[in-house]
Amino acid sequence: MNVREKINQEMIPVHVAIIMDGNGRWARKRGIARTMGHEKGVDAVRETVEAATELGIKYLTLYAFSTENWNRPKYEIAALMKLLVRSVNKEKKTFQENNIRLTTIGDLSNLPSRSHRELHKAIEETSANTGLTLILALSYSSRWEIIEAARKIAQQTLSGTIKPDQINAELFSTFLTTSSIPDPELLIRTSGEFRVSNFLLWQIAYTELYFTPTLWPDFTREEFYQAILDYQGRERRFGFTSEQIESSKKKSTTKIG
Ligand code: FPP
């Protein structure tokens, strides 16, 4: 039985997030420019989006450009921005054909105006699609997002719209860029690094983490399936005991039956 056949369709995660890492090392190993690693990384993006769509995953968030990435050499930033817009424009037709909605999280105001404009166009054109929501994290960092949320809550508290004792996790979440998106059940990071690098820190409180040594350009649909399968083998307890989880499963089966 291949990996795809082992996946339980009843237990597909609703939201998968990915830290696509290792493009630079992939290129260095071949003695070619880092930007070639990013170019090859786009093929892995395409394959992953296809696999996610086929599995019926509802949300896929890709860490495409972090706030910290602005510190990279200017030529690499320019190449990444160009590649991003080119790839989105090239894939727009496929997004429509496959009912994929494109959206972003992050501070897009920092993007070059052309990239910003083109991305907005693609977001608008795909906004009515109801299949997979593909979320590109661009100029995104979790601390930026949390500080922005705190600032807005502080302003609304000062103006009296929010009372301090109304501030809880649920309210806080509504001020994050992901307010309309459920938290990811699974976070994948490639390239053998065991870090979360300022990505969705609030949202991954109970997320299962999957780390692989594969460099992002080498990431395939089989490895994506493997991550899903691995996730399906985990017991998610959310702070409860195994016994509590088992007994609540039995209760819900009884109810259904
Ligand atoms: C990390 O590798 C990767 C990035 C910073 C960019 C990822 C972007 C793409 C794969 C292209 C995006 C395209 C679309 C359509 C979303 P790295 O450069 O940090 O690699 P290294 O750690 O080996 O140096």
Q: What is the mean pLDDT of each run of 10 residues along the chain (257 residues)?
A: 94 98 98 97 98 98 97 95 96 96 95 93 97 98 98 98 98 98 98 98 98 98 98 87 83 52
pLDDT digits (tens, 9 = 90+) for 102-115: 999 999 999 999 99
Q: What value, to the nearest 5°, has the Cα angle with vertex 195 and ends 189 and 198?
A: 95
- Per DSSP, what are the bridge partners of residue 104? 136
Do 97 and 129 touch, CB atoms closer than 8 A? no
- Please say whether the beta carbons of 61 and 135 come within 8 A: yes
Residue 97 burial class via C-beta count within 10 angstroms: exposed 0-12, middle 13-18, buried 19 and up: exposed
State how far the Cα of 224 lies from the Cα of 238, in Å rounded to an integer.
Answer: 24
Here the tokens at position 54 are: 């086929």
Distance 155 CA to ligand 1 centre (A): 36
Please identify which of the residues 69, 98, 129, 198 carries the catalytic annotation. 69
pTM of the model: 0.94
pLDDT, residue 255, reads 42
Q: Is 99 a catalytic residue?
A: no
23: Cβ below 6 Å to ligand 1?
yes
Told to judge if 2 belongs to the known catalytic residues of this protein, a careful annotator would answer no
Distance CA 208, CA 184 (A): 8
CATH of domain 12-141+181-256: 3.40.1180.10
pLDDT of res. 253: 56
Identify the CA nearest to 103 among candidates 125, 127, 135, 140. 135
What pLDDT score was predicted for residue 256? 39
